[in-house]
């Protein structure tokens, strides 16, 4: 039997083995202690995996010693640097917070925050948070635009990585919308604050007008009261003067009282209380 015939026989044997459901090389398959098929079905606990070769004590001790030398950074600077190892672009806010890449300059970001703060002049903690979010969103949007430019060939202008370009474009759109949302929230917050202040000023002005009106009404009432008192005082003064004149007339003319009463009777007028009191006196 030549070589060609031996190979054809081996292929035929492998086909028959596959049809029968047995492995082609039983010695290469580990013993799994699988029970024979049939009902009832065996439980998974009865299937035992192949045993792993034991590890020597020397190897375990060497692993323990090596583990002591790979505990990672211990200083705050080292921990901060290692936390950025998997940061590829930082557009998704690494660990849920904003962070600057190592190639970016911190002073430029602070200058951007200062410019936005000088423009909008936040006066409350909420306004300061919105202005800071605007600065972060704008910075991330500009970063995404620069990463898009890196996906293009600077000479031919052809796209080198369409998948990354699409990813950076989506991030740019997201952070641009976040910037405008923070800006709109800031404008709306200040409009509501101004509206509340105007309402308070209008209410205060209305209360002041009501107070002035009440004071004017009280002054008018006091003026009327003093006018009545003034008229009463003038009437009392006039009666007093009349009584004094009558008293002087009686002293000068003893028959004045009889003539006065006769004149009153002639006119059908009764003597006044003051006259009666004076006569009794």
pLDDT in tens, the chain (281 residues): 678 888 888 888 888 887 776 555 555 555 555 555 555 665 666 666 667 778 888 888 888 888 777 666 667 766 555 555 555 667 876 566 787 877 888 899 999 999 999 999 998 999 999 999 999 999 999 988 888 888 887 777 788 888 888 888 998 999 999 999 999 999 999 888 888 877 777 777 888 888 888 888 888 888 888 888 888 888 888 888 887 887 777 777 777 667 777 777 777 776 654 455 455 44
Q: What is the pLDDT of residue 47?
A: 62
Q: What is the pLDDT of residue 17?
A: 80
Tokens of 9: 């026989």
For residue 114, CA distances in Å to 64, 111, 122 come to: 52, 5, 11
CA dihedral 22, 24, 30, 32 (to 10 degrees): -10
List 152's β-bridge partners, or say none. Answer: 159
Q: What is the pLDDT of residue 90?
A: 73
Q: What is the pLDDT of residue 23?
A: 52
CA atoms in the 13 A half-sphere facing the CB of 165: 11
Q: Taking a C-beta distance cutoff of 8 angstroms, is the pair 177, 184 a contact?
A: no
Q: What is the pLDDT of residue 182?
A: 94
Q: What is the pLDDT of residue 135?
A: 93
Q: What is the pLDDT of residue 273?
A: 47
d(CA 262, CA 162): 132
Nearest to 92 by CA among 172, 146, 185: 172
pTM of the predicted model over 0.85: no
Residues sharing a CB contact under 8 Å with residue 79, sequence separation 6 or more, in sequence order: 72, 73
For residue 159, CA distances in Å to 151, 155, 163, 165, 166 come to: 6, 11, 10, 8, 11
Q: What is the pLDDT of residue 148?
A: 87
For residue 53, CA distances in Å to 50, 56, 87, 203 come to: 9, 10, 39, 87
Cβ neighbours, 10 Å, residue 207:
10
Tokens of 280: 């009794």
Burial zone of 152 (CB within 10 Å; 0-12 exposed, 13-18 middle, 19+ buried): middle
Q: What is the pLDDT of residue 30?
A: 52
């Amino acid at each position: 039997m030549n070589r060609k015939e031996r190979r054809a026989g081996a292929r035929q044997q492998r086909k028959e083995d596959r049809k029968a459901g047995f492995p082609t090389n039983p010695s290469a398959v580990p013993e799994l202690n699988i029970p024979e098929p049939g009902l009832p079905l065996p439980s998974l606990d009865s299937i035992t995996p192949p045993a792993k070769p034991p590890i020597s004590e020397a190897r375990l001790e060497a692993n323990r010693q090596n583990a002591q030398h790979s505990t990672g950074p211990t200083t705050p600077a080292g921990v901060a640097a290692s936390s950025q190892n998997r940061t590829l672009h930082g557009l998704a806010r690494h660990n849920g917070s904003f962070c600057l890449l190592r190639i970016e300059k911190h002073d430029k970001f602070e200058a951007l925050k200062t410019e936005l703060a000088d423009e909008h002049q936040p006066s409350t903690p909420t306004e300061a948070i919105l202005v800071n979010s605007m600065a972060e969103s704008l910075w991330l949007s500009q970063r995404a635009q620069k990463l898009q430019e890196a996906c293009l060939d600077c000479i031919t202008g052809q796209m080198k990585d369409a998948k990354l370009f699409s990813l950076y474009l989506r991030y740019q759109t997201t952070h641009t919308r976040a910037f405008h949302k923070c800006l709109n929230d800031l404008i709306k917050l200040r409009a509501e604050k101004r509206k509340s202040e105007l309402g308070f000023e209008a209410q205060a002005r209305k209360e002041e007008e009501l107070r002035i009106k009440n004071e004017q009404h009280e002054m008018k009432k006091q003026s009327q009261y003093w006018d009545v008192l003034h008229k009463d005082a003038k009437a009392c003064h006039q009666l007093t003067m009349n009584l004094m004149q009558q008293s002087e007339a009686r002293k000068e003319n003893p028959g004045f009282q009889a003539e006065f009463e006769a004149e009153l009777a002639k006119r059908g007028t009764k003597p006044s209380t003051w006259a009666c009191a004076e006569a009794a006196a």
